[in-house]
Amino acid sequence: MTIHDLVTPALVVDAAAFEHNLVTMSQALPGGRLRPHVKAHKSVAIARRQAAAGHRAFTCATVREMEGLAAAGLGDDLLLANEVVDATRLGRLEARVTVAVDSLETIAAAVAGGVREVLLDVNVGLPRCGCTPEDAGALADEARRRGLVVRGVMGYEGHAVGLDDRERRRDETRQAMEKLAAAHRDVGGDVVSAGGTGTFDLNDLATEIQAGSYVLLDTAYARLGLPFREALSVLSTVVSTSAAYAVADCGLKALGMDHGNPSIYGASVWFCSDEHVTFAPSAAPSEERPRSFRVGERIRVHPAHVDPTVAYHERFYLLDGEAVIETWPVDLRGW
């Protein structure tokens, strides 16, 4: 099977780039130094590759991701890096389960659901979940009083991971991690979980980094000059052309759009509709004139944000050049 046999739009992964990303990260952060975030790929098949590369502990964003990894036998050490008010499904899993807590209510939910281990989630600058650093110690005391094991703290520097300038990224990360360190002193435990693809080599405090995007990469992260390659794209078919532009069958239902338009190399993207992307050929500096696109041609559309792109698709196709060598279900979708 080749790319010409696929129904488009289709998520495709370049095998060489994927392997490069896997190896590069596992050399930088071997074994338990990386706790891969499965939200970026939502796929047991990719999680297995990460486990084979030495990373046996995973980060999840949803209960369904936790359930899927546990059912696949990847439950050595699963962290739900998110708050839940009903932990019943987590408590039933045959796996080592740790859940983030940041309030009396989420501590009570962990207890009621039968989850035994927690991390104190601390707000380190991104206005999202997480208690204040000052409240972390008292919440940890309460969790222990109610019989929970407090393994440590987590705090995501999400406001820093995407900053273009590496020194600003380092500086914001350091400030965020000072807050997390303060909380950690009050909370105790041996886990300090933080970080993402943009700060994987800048976060010195965390005992484990929660990066996910590195393995597939998107155009937003590619801008940062990280040592990872754009392994993921959406294979698409040109269905219409005109004098000024061309249209391919990859639109809003095949692409996460919160980071903006996707990229097509050799073209400039005008806009996306539900099932279409309209784009105009553009000449590279080295070329005399723009390339042309013809109806029926297959092109690669590179998403600006991996995670919500993947969540629209049923499967990945792993490619060696144009040959499809494996199919990986996106089996951890939904909630």
Of residues 80 and 226, the one with the C-beta less far from its own copies: 80
Residues 199-218 that bind its own copies (CB under 8 A): none
> Could you tell me the smallest distance in angstroms from the CB atom of residue 209 to its own copies?
17
Which listed range, 19-27, 103-111, 183-191, 194-202, lies at the site for its own copies (CB under 8 A)?
A: 103-111
| CB 312 to its own copies: min, Å | 6
Handedness of CA 33, 39, 40, 44 (dihedral sign): positive
Strands 97-101 and 117-121: parallel
Establish if 24 lies at the interface with its own copies (CB under 8 A).
Answer: no
Q: To 10 degrees, the CA torsion angle through 151, 153, 154, 157?
A: -160
- Binding its own copies (rule: CB under 8 A), the pick from 117, 172, 230, 307 is 307
- Rounded Cα distance between 305 and 303, Å, is 5
What Cα–Cα distance (Å) separates residue 163 from each residue in 3, 40, 316?
35, 19, 29
Taking CB under 8 A as the criterion, which residues in 149-188 touch its own copies?
A: 158
The residue (of 53 and 293) whose beta carbon lies closer to its own copies is: 293
Total residue count of the chain as it appears in this document: 335
Is residue 270 a contact residue for its own copies (CB under 8 A)?
yes
**One residue of 26, 43, 123, 173 binding its own copies per CB under 8 A:** 123
Q: How far is CA 274 from CA 6, 239, 242, 252, 264, in A?
A: 20, 14, 20, 5, 17
Min dist CB 315 to its own copies, Å, is 10
Our CB check for its own copies shows the closer of 89 and 185 to be: 89
State the number of binding residues for its own copies (CB under 8 A).
Answer: 56
b vs e for 255-285, b when ≥16 Cβ sit within 10 Å of the residue's Cβ?
bbeebebbbbebbebeebeeebbbbebeeee
186 contacts 120 by C-beta, under 8 angstroms: no
257 touches its own copies (CB under 8 A): yes
One residue of 305, 316, 318, 331 binding its own copies per CB under 8 A: 305
Mark out the alpha helices in the chain (DSSP H runs).
15-28, 44-52, 63-71, 88-91, 104-113, 133-145, 166-187, 219-222, 306-310
Region of 183-191, 255-263, 283-291, 317-325 interacting with its own copies (CB under 8 A)? 255-263
77-80 vs 57-60, strand pairing mode: parallel
Q: Which residues bind its own copies (CB under 8 A)?
A: 7-10, 39, 61-63, 82-85, 102-103, 105-106, 123, 127-130, 132, 158, 237, 239-242, 244-245, 247, 249, 252-253, 256-258, 270, 272-276, 278, 295-296, 305, 307-308, 311-314, 333-335
